[in-house]
Structure 1
Amino acid sequence: MRQDASLAKERLIQGVALALLLLMGAFVIAGPSGLIAWTENQHMLEERRAKLAELRLARDHLKNRVGLLDQNHVDPDLAGELLRSNLNVVRPDEMVMMLDK
């Protein structure tokens, strides 16, 4: 009888240990920092890197236009473009052609 009780106790301990190992394995795969979350984070990181590259290009474009609008050395082509597009200013001898982009 004594041996049956110790055998049952040992099986219970092994069952609890197995359950804990399975639970830890589930957390490794599907936990908040598990493999599934890690792959999702990698995907989000790649998306954000692409967005960052896009924003850097836009920033560089704007920085170039600001540099061309320097108060001391305004680029005449850009000034003419801005006047025509924003103020709708056209000389009488000019012909305006709208191009679809």
Structure 2
Amino acid sequence: MWTKHHKQRRFGRLVIPAITVAFVSYFGYHCIHGDLGLIATEKFEQQRLDREKDLSKLTEKRQQLERQVSLMSDGSLEKDMLDEIARYQLNVSRPDEIVIFNNYF
């Protein structure tokens, strides 16, 4: 009959749990503080929201410019609009006029 005797070690029982704790700690830390962790995800989400606000502002500005261009295009040339834009950009007025700037452009 063959029997195997081995000596009970104190630290032998703790090797597997210690390795497990090390792996869980390592991956747990990187889940929170890593490049794709929870904190980085919150920063990405904040950047996304900021960029959506910028996009909506730029879209609104583009629509304003498209409206102005449509008023100055051939076939529907508004002389008042053309005169207003020219005066605003060239900073020209007659001596008998009062100028009020509204910063449309």
| TM-score range normalised by the length of the shorter chain | 0.7 to 0.9
Cα gap change, 1:44 to 1:33, in 2 (>3 Å)? same
Return the alpha-carbon distance in structure 2 between the equivalents of residues 76 and 99 of structure 1: 19
Q: What does residue 11 of structure 1 align with?
A: 14
Aligned-pair CA distance for 1:75? 1.2
Runs of at least 5 residues in structure 2 that lack an aligned partner in the other structure: 1-5
Matched, 1:80 2:83: yes
CA deviation string 1:35-54 (max 9, x = no partner): 10111111111100000000
Runs of at least 5 residues in structure 1 that lack an aligned partner in the other structure: none
What is the identity percentage for the equivalent residue pairs of Structure 1 and Structure 2? 23
Aligned-pair CA distance for 1:71? 2.0
Return the alpha-carbon distance in structure 2 between the equivalents of residues 86 and 37 of structure 1: 45
TM-score, normalised with respect to structure 1: 0.81
Matched, 1:27 2:60: no
RMSD: 2.1
* Structure whose residues are more often helix by fraction: 1
**Mapped contact 1:83–1:89 kept (Cα < 8 A):** no
Q: What does residue 51 of structure 1 align with?
A: 54
Return the alpha-carbon distance in structure 2 between the equivalents of residues 85 and 36 of structure 1: 48
Aligned-pair CA distance for 1:85? 2.3
Aligned-pair CA distance for 1:58? 0.5
Cα gap change, 1:62 to 1:44, in 2 (>3 Å)? same
Return the alpha-carbon distance in structure 2 between the equivalents of residues 66 and 31 of structure 1: 49
